[in-house]
Amino acid sequence: MADELDVIALKKDRPDLGLKAGQRGTIVLKHDERNFLVEFSDSDGVEYAMPTLTAEEVEVVWRIADHLEGQAERRAAG
C-alpha cells in the first residue's frame, strides 16, 4: 500500500507523459487506494510532470512510514 510522501518508481515507460520506466517520483496526493498524484522533479526540485498514476503502474521504493516510526519518542527524549 502506498501513502502520501512515499517515493515510487515507474514500472513501464509512459511516452505520453515523457516518462521512462525506473524514473522516481513522490506521491503528493492519494486519491484512493489505487490512484495517486505523483510529482516528478529534476535535481533542482523543478517539477516536470505531475500525472495521476495507478497502483499497477508504480512500485514503492521508499516509504515515509518507515522513517516516521519512533519520531515522537525521539522528540520526547529531547
CATH assignment of 7-77, given 2.60.260, 2.30.30, 1.10.150, 3.30.1370? Answer: 2.30.30
Q: What pLDDT, on a 0 to 100 scale, did the predictor assign at position 68?
A: 87
CA distances from 8 to 1, 49, 66, 72 (A): 11, 14, 14, 26
Distance CA 60, CA 6 (A): 7
Global pTM reads 0.85
pLDDT band for position 70 (cuts 50, 70, 90): low
**Contact call for residues 52 and 37 (beta carbons, < 8 A):** yes
pLDDT band for position 50 (cuts 50, 70, 90): very high
